[in-house]
């Protein structure tokens, strides 16, 4: 893929946040229009921002998790790409991108459930959250992201 092609995809970090039992965090988006869809924390990387810094920032914004409760276990070696469905292209992110290119992390949450605070940021993204078996994640996400979630679950299998 050329740099010009890569520029069509929004740079993003994603996090499989797992607890001590190996269950993964799933959040229900506030703006969920597709019914009962849940996702892992993820978000854009600012220009020039270090990926590790972006990942910790996104976790803090979306889950309220503090760095002292986080242990980075792994990072997938390659970016994962997805395209937005045709009806969303041109509508999200100012119409600048056709999809996202995501760097995925596996992070252990060592705090208590009470340390999760969905309202920690002034613009919360999730209205509910729960711990789930990682293998359930691909069926919980919007259909156009399922292949990404399968790749993430497979990529971190055995490292939980």
Structure token pair of residue 53: 């810094």
Domain holding 149: CATH number? 3.90.79.10
Total domains in the chain come to: 1
Domain that holds residue 70: 3-156
Query: What pLDDT, on the 0 to 100 scale, is given for residue 94?
Result: 73
* Mean pLDDT computed over 72-82: 97
**Residue 32: which pLDDT band, with cuts at 50, 70 and 90?**
confident
96: pLDDT confidence band, cut at 50, 70 and 90?
A: confident
Residue 35 burial by Cβ neighbours in a 10 Å radius (0-12, 13-18, 19+)? exposed
Give the number of residues written for the chain. Answer: 160
For every residue of 70-91, DSSP letters joined together read EEEEEE-SS-EEEEPPTTTTTT
CA separation for the pair 89, 97 (Å, rounded)? 7
Provide the pLDDT for residue 33: 62
């Amino acid at each position: 893929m050329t740099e010009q092609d890569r520029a069509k995809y929004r740079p993003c970090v994603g996090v499989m946040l797992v607890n001590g039992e190996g269950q993964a965090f799933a959040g229900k988006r506030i703006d969920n229009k597709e019914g009962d869809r849940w996702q892992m924390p993820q978000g854009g990387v600012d220009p020039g921002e270090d990926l590790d810094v972006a990942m910790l920032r996104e976790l803090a914004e979306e889950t309220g998790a503090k760095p002292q409760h986080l242990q980075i276990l792994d990072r997938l070696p390659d970016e994962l790409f997805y395209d937005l469905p045709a009806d969303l292209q041109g509508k999200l992110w100012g119409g600048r991108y056709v999809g996202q290119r995501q760097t995925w992390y596996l992070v252990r949450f060592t705090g208590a459930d009470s340390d999760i605070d969905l309202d920690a940021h002034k613009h919360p993204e999730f209205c509910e959250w729960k711990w789930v078996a990682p293998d359930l994640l691909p069926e919980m996400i919007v259909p156009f992201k399922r292949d990404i979630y399968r790749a993430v679950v497979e990529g971190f299998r055995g490292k939980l």
